[in-house]
Amino acid sequence: MKQKKSELTPIIKTRLHVEIIEQLKDKIIRGDLQPGSKLPPERELADQLKVNRTTVREALHKLESMGLIEIKHGNGIFVKDFLESGSLDLAGQILFLDGKLNIKILKNMLDLRRLLVPEISYYAALNRNAKDLSELERIIFQSHDMLIEEKDWRVHNIIARSSGNLLFVILLNSFTGLTRDSSQLYFAVEENRMRSRKFHGEIYEAIKREDALKAKEIMLEVLLFAEEQTLKALGIEIERNKK
């Protein structure tokens, strides 16, 4: 008999609560479980999934923290509209569905990064202090044994901290975690590593001169280059959203 889209599959792997999270998350994101719909009671979920109630409870609490469900004690478990309740943390959860890269979400992330990170560079050039500049100089010009991936992350992190805006740092850290796999793919190519080294020197000079517009321009250029190279390596068609 064909399984209904909303039906759940018994869990047979280890780390059971993680498997439950993944299964329910995928069904919610794909729309198989609609916002406002009520999930079966905890006991019934445990029976369907062939696990104990403690494991189900652990998974449900995590899903609630992700903004995907709401547990109303005495009333039931309800699917939430993640477009209204989801946070940036959810982006990492929906980047992969059924173990496959979600191309649309990846492009959305790159769009957001392209809008935000050049602005971070702009404010870094305006607000950096001598200590920030010294640290940036040390990482770029003196850390010869550091892998280019690590150096690039540190450069971006210092730039974000130099902006004086804590939320810039937190958002940049989120992007770094979400795009880690694609970054490894990018830095595997020597041409891209050379482009990053060139970028490091250019962005340092702009921030040193406190030239905010130039820093923003340099950052946008390297992001566009990195985005193009990464999407090409993934075999994804490159298209720019219209304003």
Last residue of a domain, one of 86, 117, 136: 86
Name the phi and psi angles at 205, rounded to 5.
-65, -40
Residue pLDDT, tens place only, 173-183:
888 877 777 78
pLDDT of residue 3: 60
| 51: containing domain | 16-86
Looking at the structure, do residues 106 and 80 belong to the same domain, yes or no? no
Cα(73)–Cα(60) distance, integer angstroms: 13
The pair of structure tokens assigned to 62 is 């995590």
- Of 162, 157, 158, 186, nearest to 172 by C-alpha is 157
**197 domain-assigned:** yes
Q: Is 242 contained in some domain?
A: no
Q: Are residues 55 and 140 in the same domain?
A: no
| Same domain, residue pair 62 and 107 | no
Q: Percent of the chain having pLDDT more than 90?
A: 61
- Give the pLDDT band (50/70/90) at residue 222: very high
Based on the fold, state whether residues 124 and 218 are members of the same structural domain.
yes
Nearest to residue 95, comparing CAs of 243, 226, 237, 234?
234
What angle is formed at CA 172 by the lines to CA 141 and CA 85, rounded to 5 degrees? 175
Nearest to 94 by CA among 30, 36, 38, 34: 30
**Could you tell me if 49 and 128 lie in one domain?**
no
- Note whether residue 240 is domain-resident: no
Indicate whether 114 and 53 sit together in one domain: no
CATH of the domain at 38: 1.10.10.10
As a whole number, the mean pLDDT across the chain is 89
Which tens digit of pLDDT belongs to each residue from 8-44? 766 555 588 888 998 998 899 888 999 999 999 999 9
Phi, psi of 76 (to 5 degrees): 135, -175
Structural domains in the chain (count): 2
Cα–Cα separations (whole angstroms), residue 45 to 87, 138, 176? 26, 55, 35
Contact call for residues 109 and 91 (beta carbons, < 8 A): yes
Single pTM value for the model: 0.77
